[in-house]
Amino acid sequence: MNRMMLKYGCNPNQVPASVFMAEGELPIKVLNGKPGYINLLDALNAYQLVKELKEATGHPAATSFKHVSPAGAAIGLPLDETLKRIYFVENKELSPLACAYARARGADRMSSYGDFIALSDVCDRETAAIILPEVSDGIVAPGYTEEALAILKRKRKGNYTVIKIDEDYEPREIERKDVYGITFEQKRNDYRVDENIFNNIVTQNTNLSESARLNLMISLITLKYTQSNSVCYVYDGQAIGIGAGQQSRIHCTRLAGSKADTWFLRQHEKTLNLKFKKGVGRADRDNTIDVYLSEYWEDLLMTDVWKDFFEEKPEPLTDKEKREYLSKISGVSLGSDAFFPFGDNIERAAKSGVSFVVQPGGSIRDDNVIEACDRYGIVMAFTGMRLFHH
């Protein structure tokens, strides 16, 4: 098959809609459900991300995609007991691939609501089982075990979109798209992220651990498929904060940094010990925790709304407690898809425990950015390669 008709395009008024190959067969096969236009944009971008993560790191990889940018991306490192709790996978069997998706989904659970999933490897029973209770639109993977497919077909009243992609498919070198009736053409971005990105360390501190190298590669591969401008904070093999599609780089850094802070604060003892009422669903739990950790929590406490979610009135996590907790965080890696134009990005990154940075370099203020890194003892490498994605 070289053409697939779709219900509509980005919006219901955009008909007809389809995907097709000018030459050859489509490299995707729908095993269940009916994907939409945006589903396929997410699926094809997301699969490229996890395929490259697997190739670069050697670990199975997963991503949680929403509106053509990742909400989370990760490799399949084991989960400690705290992460199992905040990812709702306690007492679950966890294969490396299942760990990868639990991490990808758990990076930003609010943004991942209704995600499109991509897996680097054949979906196994363990991974399908943790996907089952999550609100998700669909999945793409190079294959599915019989048990995994049966589990996934139970989602969304049997209408969950399941796509199998040919892992040996190689796209043409030149890619095209139409905008306002005008065709754009460019060579596809085949830049490979590997150990060579660390050849130009420009800071006084040059000590890059193996884990930092791994995390920095994850950040750049994630950014390669994130709508620009974008930055990505990574810790322990997973993205923990992604700032996508902002017009200003400092806004990217702040947005992603606040998401990284929330990820860490979800592991605070007070957050872990919140006593939710029975019957409060995962999505309501995620949303309520986000509010609990925000500046709006005091306003909510002045109403009776908290009684809808909690067995008892929660003890607030004060600003002082948050600052003290976050001040102990270190070892976070940060990637940027283009150069940092000012040192204020580093100042903000340092507040979220960033110890390692990778970026293209090339700003007329590189000296200012390097100086800011040196002030905090941060290691920074220049790649010389911009990774805009639109």
Catalytic residues: 66-67, 229, 390
φ, ψ of residue 105 to 5 degrees: the values are -70, -35
Rounded Cα–Cα distance for residues 338 and 360 (Å)? 6
Beta-bridged to residue 175, according to DSSP, are 186
Rounded Cα–Cα distance for residues 118 and 352 (Å)? 28
Query: What's the token pair of residue 83?
Result: 């992460």
Query: What's the token pair of residue 159?
Result: 């209408």
The set of residues, in sequence order, having a beta carbon less than 8 Å from that of 348 and lying 6+ positions away, is 250, 253, 254, 257
Where helices occur in 235-305 by DSSP H, the ranges are: 249-265, 269-272, 282-292, 297-301
